Structure 1
Amino acid sequence: MTRARKLLPRTVNRVLREIDRLRNTITIGLLRLRGAEIGRGALIGRIRTERPEDAKIGRLCHLEDSVRLRPDGPWPVSGIEIGENTFIGHSTQINVGSRFRIGRDRLVAPMCLFTDARHNSENPDTPSRNKARPIRLSKSATACRSARLA
């Protein structure tokens, strides 16, 4: 293999890493403009959140693509807090009407679901305000692939 043929893949990979770094910077900037608190050194993929002002993401966190942060309660106390150096795998959904807190140095595998949603049995489309309780993932907790915590 010639020297030029070896340099081309390295150059392409270097350019792609820079594009990813730039996309991450833009994503974090836009989330901060919309009110999210995000610590230094965070890596955030293509995530979805309707209310970024209710999200607090610690420094050195890594949220992969398709993570959904949904603090969606009608109460002013709903919110999501992710501690420092926490990894959240792709396609994980955090759907809370009250509070969700995950401590520092935690690992959440891909495709997990965290929800505190409780619905009124007479009208399943209406959440019941008095039953939502905070979710907290604390020390030594790890959520395995496709875990469902409700």
Structure 2
Amino acid sequence: MNIKDHIRSIPDFPKPGIMFYDISTLLAHAEAWRDTVRQLKEAVEPHKPALLVGIESRGFLAAAPLALAMGLGFVMIRKRGKLPGDIITHNYDLEYGTDTIEIQADAIKPGTRVVVLDDLLATGGTMAAAISLLRRVGADVAAAQFIIELGFLNGAAKLDVPVQSVVRYES
């Protein structure tokens, strides 16, 4: 199945000149979504993670069902102010400003092997920040996995772990 056939492209969103790749249509197509999760599983299994980590919010959509399919736990990296308890915070720069992500301090035991997932790899800033945050809590980050990669933005070059995606766009 060609997963790209189930991803809607929306020009000029959220601003002129940007092409938005919408996975809503993929999620709504049961067979295509099942095949996407199967492909994610095949890509992630060789890394032998003990936990999967998803980045808010669309990364949750990939990581949670995959964790269930693989019999693994799932941990969330969230935006500022969304997690209770003791948290570890990481501020990072984006091409248009700054942002903050957080993880619960006790979510991952030091030395735990993880794979971190998000829906889309563009410039790599958010994933690089997530990897840095995970290392601060002692996680062994084995790989980064995406549904979509915008190869022409070279986001994978910012990441020092193996990077895989189900679908890749070159322009």
TM-score normalized by structure 2?
Answer: 0.22
| Structure with the higher fraction of residues in strand conformation | 2
Greater helix share, structure number: 2
TM-score of the two chains, using structure 1 as the length reference: 0.24
